[in-house]
A and B are shown apart, each in its own frame.
Chain A
Amino acid sequence: MSKELILAQAGGLLETLAEMTHYLAGLIYSGKSNQVTEEIPGYLEGLDALFKALRASGEELGWLEAETAALAGPLERLSRAINDRDWVSVSDTLLYELLPRLTGWRERISEVSAGAGTRIRNN
């Protein structure tokens, strides 16, 4: 699979994850926390798939390692909040800790994708 396609897939995944974050927060706000428990594994799988896709792209993503390390804290807090059924903290972590990072990644990936496209055309 081409690097360009993998990056496009990663961009799509990021968009889905952002939508899912708002969806999960909405479930919490409307008191449907049981559904959140069911949906969270899908959200985490999506994050995992995103990492894999980005690594598979072979692109120079030095920032990714740093970002992955920075995610450890929020993910741990998310896991603890889910275990404690502390749904406000779950939505806080999703909306105010994870979502801004995912939005930042999306911008970077768009930049990288644009760069990769230029390099391919130049070759």
Chain B
Amino acid sequence: MREPEYEIINGQSGLPTVRVRLPDGRAIMLHSNYDPVGEGEQMAALQDIGQAGVVIVFGCGLGYHLEAALRNCPEDSPVIIIERFPGLVSRTLEDRPHLQAKRAVVSTSEIPGIEAALDIVRPAFFRRRGAVVIEHPPSVSADPEFYRKAWERLRDSLSQLKLGANTSAKIGWLFARNFFENIPLLAQDPCVSRLFGMFKGVPAVLVASGPSLDKNIDLVKEAKGKAVIIAMGSAYEALHRRGIVPDLTVAVDPGETSNRSHFEGRGSDETALIYESKTYPGIPREFTGPRFSFFQDYPMARWLFKSIGSRSDFPMGLTVATSAFGVAARLGCNPKILVGQDFAFIQNQTHSAGIGIAKDFPIEAELTVPAAVGGGMVPTTHIFNSFRLALEGLYWQDTRAGGLVIDATEGGALKAHTQIMTLREAIGRYCTREAPALNQIREIWESGRSGRGVLIKTARAMRSLFRRLKKFRAKLYYGLVNIEELRRLLSAIEAPHMGSFHSSLARRAKEMFNTVWEENQEINRYPDLVNLLHLTASYMTFGREIKEMTVEQKIEENGAYYAEMLIGCDIILQPLEKSADILADILEETAGINQKAKAGRP
């Protein structure tokens, strides 16, 4: 079937418009011949954008409606453009450079690229504003199937983002606590980017702990030395139980219980740990092999980068599977052989029997998806499914860059952009040569560890943050007390039969309102601390949840905001102080060693 084609022509108004020739021979216009500007204005007026945090555009055309729609939108709100014809986006941005003067504009003309586009603007979702979708109906009618599929992908990706946000809202305190507890190691350990490009063309065997792993786990051993074996979180335990030592293990899970089962007592000098900065601190602390850190892009990480230097980040998504795949891609590994990545249940099992807590996972199928092997459907959950969709976006990017992703799970859900193969076949075909760089990982870790200067800088930054957070906490506390007083005064004014007392109350309420307002201004003078505390609060909103509020609602909202940040301060202050002490001890110890070394010098 032919693809639709477009041409830009000059309309009767003298302004450009677009004619699209469709595969069935029809031709349709994307903009008015007579008044494309007026038409764009009217289309935009019908879409409710308001104070959108992120604007998602379905169909750009030449941007007439976009120009009008963005006029009333915050100038820093990023825009994601999903457009069937990438040339139209380029032309729009060429003709209207001001659209991206103060905001990020990312676009995609391919459906799997939606995930990557969302990833770029991910931090913007964590503001107290919603994501809004605006549609250009003529563009959508030029290829309804494309936009239907794009919409489905967007909906799934947004639900995954929301899942991440909900996770942040629920366990943001855990992320924050772990991050500050991990600082002494984060400041010392090199970033995983030190390994990037080291394994160009070497196969990676990415081992997850899905139930199919039990079928072929013993074969993984055959890839040892000929591929980079990467264990994802709990798969480390399953491999360890079978006496298989992976080259790398990736950890992102912040929780203590599961991580104890997967890692405790399973240290190995032959495996390098790659850990995200908010991982449960017990893992890096007790790991005996080389350690490499990586960071999701968030304010706490950016604060630490000022001391330890900026660390390369990469689109790692929310799960250990996306992180591990991202690591394998950045190492240069090819092909990437997936093992134990089911994203589905097998005989009511969600995980390999090789992990101790496999039986603890509740199993309730919510949907069925096509099976990877043998046809038919397999049961799964929405969460597993959203993980698969996120990974399919990465597989797609990888294959577009010339990579090959092999699904050697031998079961589970069918994955787009992969080749299905048995693990035996994949190893036999691709893991045929020694992988020379594997023995260099420890050296790189040792040579990449931070020097004393970085540790001193980090320790100072921690002490300074500790002092500032304590002051900020006091401001939040007094702010909350005064908000409570203002609330009390306002409700007293509402009460009947106040008589002459009413005007006195009103005067006091006005004074208190001014105090609360000034305190709010004062608190807003600490944007770095407000940002830093975002992980401990549930800031992510979807849809237009924040609308015009009454004064009472604004006071209420501010009170909730202060309370969340106050709790955030309490969560951070303790591990911050503890980590600062640990760093001070390390510095004292190394100073002693240095002095001894100096004293011993002839």
Which residues of B are found within 8 Å of A92, using beta-carbon distances? 29, 32-34
11 A-B pairs (CB sep. < 8 Å): A26-B42, A30-B43, A31-B137, A86-B26, A87-B138, A88-B28, A88-B32, A89-B28, A89-B29, A91-B39, A96-B34
Complex: how many Å from CA A86 to CA B21?
11
Q: A29-B39, A95-B34, A96-B35 are in contact. Are A86 and B46 (CB under 8 A)?
A: no
Query: Which A residues lie within 8 Å of B43 (CB)?
Result: 29-30
List residues of chain A with CB within 8 A of the CB of B137: 28-31, 33, 87
A85 contacts chain B at the CB level, 8 A cutoff: yes
Contact (Cβ within 8 A) A88 B29: yes
Contacts of B135 in A (CB 8 A): 31
For A41-84 the 0/1 string (1 means CB < 8 A from B) is 00000000000000000000000000000000000000000001
Contacts of A31 in B (CB 8 A): 135, 137, 140
- Chain A residues with CB under 8 Å of B42's CB are 25-26, 29
Chain B residues whose CB sits within 8 angstroms of the CB of A26 once the complex forms: 42, 46
Which residues in B have their C-beta under 8 angstroms from that of A87? 28, 137-138, 141
Interface residues on A, range: 10 to 19
For residue A99, give the distance in angstroms from its CB to the closest CB of chain B: 11
Q: Is B31 close to A, CB under 8 A?
A: yes
B residues within 8 A CB of A89? 28-29, 33
Interface 1/0 per residue, B30-65 and A, CB below 8 Å: 111111000100110010000000000000000000
B residues less than 8 Å from A28 (CB atoms): 137
Tell me which residues across on chain A come within 8 A of B28, comparing CB atoms: 84-89
CB of B492 within 8 A of chain A? no
User: Whose C-beta in chain A lies nearest to the C-beta of B26?
Assistant: A84
Interface residues of B (CB under 8 A from A): 26-35, 39, 42-43, 46, 135, 137-138, 140-141
* Contact status A33-B29, CB under 8 Å: no
Q: Using known A-B contacts A29-B46, A30-B137, A33-B137, determine if residue A88 contacts B26 with beta carbons closer than 8 Å.
A: no
Interchain CB contact under 8 A, B141 and A85: yes
Q: By DSSP majority rule, is chain A's interface helix, strand, loop, or mixed? A: helix
Nearest neighbor of B18 in chain A, beta-carbon distance: A88
Question: Whole-angstrom distance between the alpha carbons of A92 and B39 in the complex?
Answer: 10
B46 contacts A88, CB within 8 Å?
no
User: Per-residue CB proximity of A88-108 to B under 8 Å, as 1/0?
Assistant: 110110011000000000000
A92 to B35, CA, bound (A): 9
Q: In the bound complex, how far is the Cα of B141 from the Cα of A98, in angstroms?
A: 24
A99 to B140 alpha-carbon distance, docked (Å): 26
CB-based nearest B residue for A86: B28
- A86 near B27 with CB under 8 A, answer yes
Give 14 new A-B contacts, CB below 8 A, not counting A84-B26, A85-B141, A92-B33.
Answer: A29-B39, A29-B43, A30-B46, A31-B140, A86-B28, A87-B137, A87-B141, A88-B30, A88-B39, A89-B28, A91-B39, A95-B34, A96-B32, A96-B33
Q: Which of A30, A88, A95 sits near B31, CB closer than 8 Å?
A: A88
**Of A25, A29, A89, A96, most B-chain CB atoms within 10 Å:** A29
User: Which chain A residue has the least Cβ–Cβ distance from B13?
Assistant: A96
Which of A26, A84, A85, A92 is the most central at the interface, judged by chain B CB atoms within 10 Å of its CB? Answer: A92
Q: How far apart are the CA atoms of A26 and B42 in the complex, in Å?
A: 8
Which A residues touch B138, using CB under 8 A?
Answer: 87-88
Q: Chain A, 8-45, contact with B by CB distance < 8 Å: what is the 0/1 string?
A: 00000000000000000110111101000000000000
**Residues of chain B with a CB closer than 8 A to A91's CB:** 32, 39
Task: Name the CB-closest residue of B to A25.
Answer: B42
